[in-house]
Amino acid sequence: MKSRSRLLQMVGLLGFIFLYAPILSLVIYSFNESKLVTVWGGFSTRWYGELFRDPQILGAAWISVKIAFLSASIAIVIGTLASFVLIRFARFRAKSLLSMLITAPLVMPEVIIGLSLLLLFVAMEGVIGWPGGRGLVTIIIAHSTFGAAYAAVVIQSRLVDMDLSIEEAAQDLGAKPVRVFFDITLPVIAPALVSAWLLAFTLSLDDLVIASFVSGPGASTLPMVIFSKVRLGVSPDVNALATIIIGLVSLGVIVAALQMNRSKRQSEQR
Task: Tell me phi and psi for residue 32, to 5 degrees.
Answer: -80, 135
CA 179 to chain centroid, in Å, comes to: 30
* Shortest distance in whole angstroms from residue 168 CB to other proteins: 6
Name which of 35 and 179 has its Cβ closer to other proteins. 179
Residue 163 within binding range of other proteins, rule CB under 8 A: yes
Q: At what angle do helices 222-231 and 55-88 cross, to 10 degrees?
A: 130
- Residue from 9, 228, 261, 266 that binds other proteins (CB under 8 A)? 266
Residue 179 within binding range of other proteins, rule CB under 8 A: yes
* Shortest distance in whole angstroms from residue 245 CB to other proteins: 35
Residue 188 within binding range of other proteins, rule CB under 8 A: yes
- Residue from 46, 171, 235, 244 that binds other proteins (CB under 8 A)? 171
CA distances 191 to 9, 85, 88, 158, 188, Å, are 35, 19, 19, 9, 8
CA separation for the pair 2, 140 (Å, rounded): 54
* Shortest distance in whole angstroms from residue 249 CB to other proteins: 30
CA separation for the pair 110, 228 (Å, rounded): 19
Name which of 53 and 176 has its Cβ closer to other proteins. 176
Which helix (H) or strand (E) segment is 131 a member of? none
- Residue from 4, 53, 93, 270 that binds other proteins (CB under 8 A)? 270
Residue 175 within binding range of other proteins, rule CB under 8 A: yes
- Residue from 40, 168, 182, 254 that binds other proteins (CB under 8 A)? 168
* Shortest distance in whole angstroms from residue 187 CB to other proteins: 4
* Shortest distance in whole angstroms from residue 171 CB to other proteins: 5
Q: Which stretch binds other proteins (CB under 8 A): 128-136, 139-147, 184-192, 211-219?
A: 184-192
Task: Tell me phi and psi for residue 93, to 5 degrees.
Answer: -70, -45
Residue 191 CB partners (closer than 8 Å, separation 6+): 158, 259, 260, 262, 263, 266
Name which of 107 and 173 has its Cβ closer to other proteins. 173
- Residue from 22, 41, 49, 187 that binds other proteins (CB under 8 A)? 187
Residue 111 CB partners (closer than 8 Å, separation 6+): 209, 213
**What 8-state DSSP symbol labels residue 183?**
I
Residue 93 CB partners (closer than 8 Å, separation 6+): none
Which residues lie near other proteins (CB under 8 A)?
163, 165-166, 168-176, 179, 183-184, 187-188, 190, 266-267, 269-270
